[in-house]
Amino acid sequence: MYVPFARKYRPRFFREVVGQEVPVRVLKNAVKNDRVSHAYLFAGPRGVGKTTIARILAKSLNCLNPQEGEPCGKCENCQEIDRGNFPDLIEMDAASNRGIDDIRAVREAVSYTPIKGKFKVYIIDEAHMLTKEAFNALLKTLEEPPPRTVFILCTTEYEKILPTILSRCQRIIFGRVSEDKVVEYLKRICELEGLECEEDALKSIAQASEGCMRDAASLLDQASVLGEGKITREIVENFLGILSAGKVRDFMKLLLNSQVDSALTQLNELYRKGYNLSKFWESLEEEVRRAVLVRSMKDPSGVVENPESYEEFKNYPLEALLYLENLVNRGRLEARSRPAIKAYELAVIKSTIIKEILPISQALTSGVQPSSPEGEGKAERKDTLEDRLRELLSPVAYKALSGAQRVKRDGVEVFQIDEDTYRTFKEEFENLKKKLPEVEFEVQKKKDQKESTTSLF
């Protein structure tokens, strides 16, 4: 019989739990030191190990042979709990048994001492779903806890638990499992199952599961079926309908380079293939955000994971990235009030402007002269310096320059500009100097207050 990975690889010992270091340490120590509370509240998102750990706790409390707070896994009690037929472990799902009668049943049952084990353990799943009456009944039980009874209330919605209940429980908070740990866990399953896998594929799964181990395991399950034992990034991306961060960054480059045709084609291809466009746009926004951070920080390592992946975006002027950020952000907002694909298409089309207002091509192709003979010919017909500047520079560079202080020295026009502006438009300014010997630049250490370029956005 086929057992899904999520069930097959459910941890049976504290040591097998991935992440959740704090809950595991607290509970293991409580068992070891004989200081177990009579009521716990396990709060956290779904699929991160609440039920799993509740069962392990039940096991270690009833194990005939516990070792340092860990159950032995071999004794009768441990095995019965694993099989789900231990009489002193009662699991209730409040989502389906919401009524007061069920809680009455709990209260009555509680009056009996454990049948077989040392502790009677009640696991009440989705405890926030209990009715108010049921909560109150439970409260009475919690006020006068019967001996050798442990209640474990699990919830994904901590805020919905009444304060009176909260105050009687020891709270244990479960967090999402980090992406790295999810990947590690998936890798282990692949090894045990003899599955071939690409690291990128596992990363995509981990990303999509957002720290939920149950989702991660079942996505891996699906991928292994689809890939017939081989888990590739392509398969995963296809069936998840998501693109890897690397592919999203490639798309981002299309926008920055104003390659509108390719970008629109790709966008529509994703749409036709049934990709989740809003997820795609979300990760585009995130990638742009990271690129902007890396572009503007001296040491982004504390803020952005793998900053080296964004290194190439340092070649783009910050203005271009900020403009793109604005564009993508607006695209997301507009997707709420009209068909998403249309909103995204429009955003892509708007990226044409990046080419017009920013000297990206110069910034990218260092050494290549962007000007054409045609441009120079036109320039000859102009007579004032101002006209020539306007002619030879991109609008943004021109604007930056016109905001600068200037002095005339021996017939040479000297622009005093701050370091940042100079660096941003270096290619253009160098080119300009070659064409207009009557122009010089003086780079100022201190940043000029009036930053004309910012007004664009």
Ligand X SMILES: Nc1ncnc2c1ncn2[C@@H]1O[C@H](COP(=O)(O)OP(=O)(O)O)[C@@H](O)[C@H]1O
Q: Which residue has the tokens 């779903």?
A: 129
Least separation in angstroms between residue 16's CB and Mg ion is: 17
The residue among 20 and 62 lying less far from Zn ion, judged by its C-beta, is 62
Report the 10 Å Cβ neighbour count for 3: 10
- Residue 12 is a binding residue for Zn ion (CB under 5 A): no
CB-nearer residue toward Mg ion: 156 or 204: 156
**For residue 456, what are the contacts with CB-CB under 8 A and spacing of at least 6?**
319, 323, 357, 396, 399
List CB contacts of 455: < 8 A, sequence separation 6 or more: none
- Measured from the CB of residue 365, what is the shortest distance to Mg ion in angstroms? 56
Residues 66-85: x/- map of binding to Zn ion (CB under 5 A)? -----xx--x--x-------
Residue 71, classified by CB atoms within 10 Å of its CB into exposed (0-12), middle (13-18) or buried (19+), is buried
Radius of gyration for the alpha carbons in the chain, expressed in angstroms and rounded: 32
Number of residues that bind Zn ion (CB under 5 A): 6
Q: What angle do CA 157, 160, 163 make, to 5 degrees?
A: 125
The least CB distance from residue 214 to Mg ion, in Å, is: 9
* Least distance in angstroms from the C-beta of 186 to ligand X: 11
Q: How many CB atoms lie within 10 A of CB 439?
A: 20
Residue 214 CB partners (closer than 8 Å, separation 6+)? 6, 46, 47
Alpha-carbon gap, residue 348 to 353, rounded angstroms: 10
Q: In angstroms, rounded to a whole number, what is the distance separating the alpha carbons of residues 401 and 382?
A: 19
51 vs 60 by CB, closer to Mg ion:
51
Residue 197 touches which of ligand X, Mg ion, Zn ion, none (CB < 5 to 8 A by kind)? none
CB under 5 to 8 A by kind: which of Mg ion, Zn ion, ligand X, none does 256 bind?
none
Kindly give, in sequence order, each residue whose CB lies less than 8 Å from that of residue 262, ignoring residues fewer than 6 positions away.
Answer: 254
Phi-psi region of 306 (alpha: psi -120 to 50; beta: other; left: phi over 0): left
Question: Pattern 23-62, binding to Mg ion, x per CB under 5 A?
Answer: ----------------------------x-----------
Among ligand X, Mg ion, Zn ion, none, partner that 72 touches (CB below 5 to 8 angstroms by kind): Zn ion
Residue 306 has, within 13 A of its CA and on its CB side, a CA count of 7
Does residue 327 interact with Zn ion by CB under 5 A? no
Q: How far is the CB of 123 from Zn ion (least distance, A)?
A: 18
Tokens coding 156: 């994904």
CB of 60 to ligand X, least distance (A): 16
217: partner contacted, choices Mg ion, ligand X, Zn ion, none (Cβ within 5-8 A by kind): ligand X
Which one, 46 or 332, has the nearer CB to ligand X?
46
Please state, as a whole number, how many other Cβ atoms lie within 10 Å of the Cβ of residue 308: 10
What are the structure tokens assigned to 338, written together? Answer: 């009209």
Closest separation between CB of residue 174 and Mg ion, Å? 10
Residue 154 vs 235, nearer CB to ligand X: 154
Q: Which residues bind ligand X (CB under 6 A)?
A: 6-7, 9-11, 17-20, 46-52, 154, 177, 213-214, 217
Task: Report strand pairing: 89-93 vs 120-125.
Answer: parallel
Four-CA torsion 310, 311, 312, 315, nearest 10 degrees? 120
Residue closer to ligand X (CB basis): 195 or 432: 195
Name the minimum Å distance from CB 156 to Mg ion: 8
**β-sheet bridge partners, residue 442:** 416
151/281 with CB nearer ligand X: 151
Closest distance to Zn ion from the beta carbon of 151 (Å): 22
Confirm or reject binding of residue 58 to Zn ion (CB under 5 A). no
Residue 20: name its binding partner from Mg ion, ligand X, Zn ion, none (Cβ under 5 to 8 Å by kind). ligand X
Q: Which residues pair with 444 in a beta bridge?
A: 418
Tokens 């005939």, located at residue: 64
Contact status, residue 457 vs residue 323, Cβ threshold 8 Å: yes
Asked whether position 20 contacts Mg ion by CB under 5 A, the answer is no
Q: Is 174 or 310 the residue whose CB approaches ligand X more closely?
A: 174
Among ligand X, Zn ion, Mg ion, none, what binds residue 57 when CB lies within 5 to 8 Å by partner kind? none
Nearer to ligand X among residue 124 and residue 291 (C-beta): 124
Least spacing, CB of residue 42 vs Mg ion, in Å? 9
Task: Give the residues lining the site for Zn ion (CB under 5 A).
Answer: 63, 65, 71-72, 75, 78
Binding residues (CB under 5 A) for Mg ion: these are: 51
